Structure 1
Amino acid sequence: MKKVGITGQNGFVGAHLYNTLGLEPEKFERIDFQKNYFENPDQLDEFVKQCDVIVHLAAMNRHPDAEVIYHQNVDLVKKMVASLERTNSKAHLLFSSSSQEERDNLYGKSKKEGRSLLANWAKEKGGKFTGMIIPNVFGPFGKPNYNSFIATFCHKLTHGENPTVDVDSEVSLIYVGELVQEIIDQIEAGETAELYKVPATTTIKVSAVLEKLKSYKKLYFQNGEIPALTSSFDYQLFNTFRSYFDIATHYPVKFTQNIDPRGAFVEVIRLGIGGQCSFSTTVPGITRGNHFHTRKIERFAVIKGKALIQLRKIDSDEVLEFYLDGTDPAYVDMPIWYTHNIKNIGDEELLTIFWINEPYNPEDADTYFVEV
């Protein structure tokens, strides 16, 4: 087991890495890091002493004054180097640099200088160092107007705004889940690499990304239809888009009932992709679920009985509750990284239809059990 600490563990990439390491507790022990440790040398030293591996992600990406970005980022690295030296650490230090290193700006300069300082520490003190040059990262829960243009587009499209393309350049992208796996692979390899260029997994024009997101808004956000997703990037972008909903107000979504003297007809889901559709009966008082997924798209549709559906983002204490009744059929889609359950709160049998975008595979279930 390796003890892993992450500076910036509450940031965009840091939170995804922290949560993913938690899926394998037999391999990784996560050492907690708090932002204020950089202002308290004793606390920083205590953190460093516990770690076999330190992933240094803490950095400033944007500020009106580029000089502030430069000095802040270099200063954080200097504080880390000082702590490594005070504690005589031999930890494996992984550093997230950027493809901006190749550009003539102060952010890129801060990253390049930080990577050099850490590489020198490793050479002089016998530590291990991996300097990762990372392309543009996107994924769920990124901060709009900060982490990526995709985060900005998604937030605007789901909050009544119309994003525009200022410069229609071709961009190299990596999904945050893919980046996290790259970091974990480097942790497990445990080798020094002063410059490791993380390969982009998608190259696409900004306008093409916006067109895809606009189609997701029309088909899914407004009409509840799962769009055609023909590539890994499509799935990644769609799950990213879904994470920007105001879940508490978006769900449950009422179905359209077509009623005539024979009864009612309700379309549960319209698909541009396949998957697995099933139903369950649940006796009163019983709860199903209490698990989450990291990639799957899933819909719960209550068509008979009364149900309580609960959702909780796994690094949050906030529980969202939705009450559904088969007399007024509705559905709730399960966001990735949200543990969820469904409970029969009525006096009769509960009938629920479940759709998920991929058939269940016990060898790659993408299902992690955590109580809501």
Structure 2
Amino acid sequence: MNILVTGANGFVGKNLIAELKNRGFNNIFEFTRESDSSLLEKYTKECNFVFHLAGVNRPKDDKEFMEGNFGFTTKLLELLKKHGNESSVLVTSSIQAEKDNPYGKSKKAGEDLVFAHSIETGAKALVYRLPNLFGKWSKPNYNTVVATYCHNIARDLDIQVNNPDANLTLCYIDDVLDEFLGALEGKPTIQNNYCVVPITHNIKLGELANLIRGFKESRNNIGIPNMENALTKKLYSTYLSFLPEDKFSYDLKMNSDHRGSFTEFVRTPERGQVSVNVSKPGITKGNHWHHTKNEKFLVVSGEGLIRFRKIDSDEIIEYRVSGDKLQVVDIPTGYTHSIVNVGETDLVTVMWVNECFDPEKPDTYFLEV
């Protein structure tokens, strides 16, 4: 299948082409503003499907709206008709097409052209009135407020929140791609003659700003956003794509002494915390028990011995662990326990605990195994 993508260098175009290639589509005609105009003649003759993504949304002069969103669409459809090409045409419009402003009028005019082309030629018209899109490779101060907020907050730049209570309808780029690939396969989602992306999210502008600020702060409090919330998960992925390339890494606080080190990696209120414990050869750590707090130990390097004793018993239970065989050991409540480095190299243990440490209620009681 030969697939024509106009606006191939844009936010949606880049993501779409990457996913088309992921799914094995290799004959992709990429057309951009910089492309030789003669290529459009060839592409419209040979293509089997058209993703018409090209458009103008932030011109210097309002008249460019009509030139970019109506004029180029006219040229594209005329060439398809000239070659007798009845390929389906998927066009990205906007919810702004319902409004009486220069951008909305230009989008509505483009829609009307595509519907008229369909009636005249029999080619299928797939018109998507899209809400605010967000995701990787979007442009700040151009595509979406999400891109602007992510870009600025990641760089400690100010953001404007003019109306915190303003409601936004957002749509994630991966959900758009799933819908577009479904349309390519002949399974678009249609409502009242228009095509729609069935998954959208609503959020207030102020909530959006606070959420993205929280993503930045999570490096300081070693937190993880609530990934059970679909919008939060998608926004966090988008935020990370805007990190400056020299800021991918960040330091953790290592608590070090002659015995080794203990470093908290992740803290979450609903899933507990993860830490990395390093013990020098011969060092024993632990010798305590808990009422409710429970842990999982995973030795990833070195050799260790985990010892248990129920607090009302003299029987000692031992588990030998090694980085050569990754094995999780649960630490039940009511058992005093310790871990000793019995090897000749550092013992590195990943430790998960079901609750974040609270100095006011540590639930940790010293008792030799």
TM (norm. structure 2) is 0.69
1:235 corresponds to which residue? 233
2:280 corresponds to which residue? none
1:254 aligns with 2:238: no
- Partners of 1:137 and 1:148 within 8 A in 2: yes
- Partners of 1:45 and 1:86 within 8 A in 2: no
CA drift of 1:38 comes to: 6.6
Q: State how far apart, in whole Å, the 2-side matches of 1:274 and 1:85 are.
A: 59
1:307 corresponds to which residue? none
1:214 corresponds to which residue? 213
CA drift of 1:264 comes to: 1.6
Aligned to 2:267, the other structure's residue is in SS state coil
- Partners of 1:92 and 1:190 within 8 A in 2: no
Q: Aligned-pair RMSD on alpha carbons? A: 3.2
1:21 aligns with 2:17: no
1:57 corresponds to which residue? 53
Q: State how far apart, in whole Å, the 1-side matches of 2:230 and 2:187 are.
A: 29
- Post-superposition Cα deviations, 1:121-178, rounded to whole Å, max 9, x if no partner, equal 2221221211111111111221011101111111110112121211331111111111
1:180 corresponds to which residue? 177
2:266 corresponds to which residue? 269
1:120 corresponds to which residue? 116
- Post-superposition Cα deviations, 1:188-221, rounded to whole Å, max 9, x if no partner, equal 126797522444511111111111111111113x
2:243 corresponds to which residue? 245
- Partners of 2:15 and 2:173 within 8 A in 1: yes
- Partners of 1:139 and 1:175 within 8 A in 2: yes
CA drift of 1:119 comes to: 1.6
- Partners of 2:7 and 2:53 within 8 A in 1: yes
Q: State how far apart, in whole Å, the 2-side matches of 1:66 and 1:352 are.
A: 62
CA drift of 1:70 comes to: 2.0
Aligned to 1:122, the other structure's residue is in SS state helix
2:236 is aligned with what amino acid? F
1:149 aligns with 2:145: yes
- Post-superposition Cα deviations, 1:263-292, rounded to whole Å, max 9, x if no partner, equal 1222233346759x9x9xxxxxxxxxxxxx
Aligned residues: 283
Q: State how far apart, in whole Å, the 1-side matches of 2:49 and 2:271 are.
A: 41
Q: Of 77, 80, 85, which aligns to 2:76?
A: 80
2:57 is aligned with what amino acid? N
Q: State how far apart, in whole Å, the 2-side matches of 1:203 and 1:223 are.
A: 27
- Partners of 1:130 and 1:195 within 8 A in 2: yes
Q: State how far apart, in whole Å, the 1-side matches of 2:270 and 2:15 are.
A: 27
2:204 corresponds to which residue? 205
Aligned to 2:81, the other structure's residue is in SS state helix
Instruction: Structure 1 unaligned segments of length 5 or more: list them.
Output: 280-302, 305-347, 356-372
- Partners of 1:31 and 1:50 within 8 A in 2: no
- Partners of 1:139 and 1:240 within 8 A in 2: yes
- Partners of 2:221 and 2:267 within 8 A in 1: no
2:225 is aligned with what amino acid? P
Q: State how far apart, in whole Å, the 2-side matches of 1:108 and 1:80 are.
A: 20
Q: State how far apart, in whole Å, the 2-side matches of 1:261 and 1:352 are.
A: 17
Q: State how far apart, in whole Å, the 1-side matches of 2:95 and 2:232 are.
A: 24
Q: State how far apart, in whole Å, the 1-side matches of 2:99 and 2:66 are.
A: 14
Aligned to 1:17, the other structure's residue is in SS state helix
- Partners of 1:226 and 1:273 within 8 A in 2: no
2:28 corresponds to which residue? 31
Q: State how far apart, in whole Å, the 2-side matches of 1:169 and 1:192 are.
A: 28
1:179 is aligned with what amino acid? V
Q: State how far apart, in whole Å, the 2-side matches of 1:232 and 1:82 are.
A: 42
1:189 corresponds to which residue? 186
State the identity %: 30
CA drift of 1:241 comes to: 1.0
1:14 is aligned with what amino acid? G
Q: State how far apart, in whole Å, the 2-side matches of 1:172 and 1:237 are.
A: 13
- Whose Rg is larger? 2
Aligned to 2:133, the other structure's residue is in SS state strand
- In structure 2, relative to structure 1, the CA distance for the partners of 1:251 and 1:238 (3 Å cut) is closer
Instruction: Structure 2 unaligned segments of length 5 or more: list them.
Output: 277-299, 302-344, 353-369
Aligned to 1:249, the other structure's residue is in SS state coil
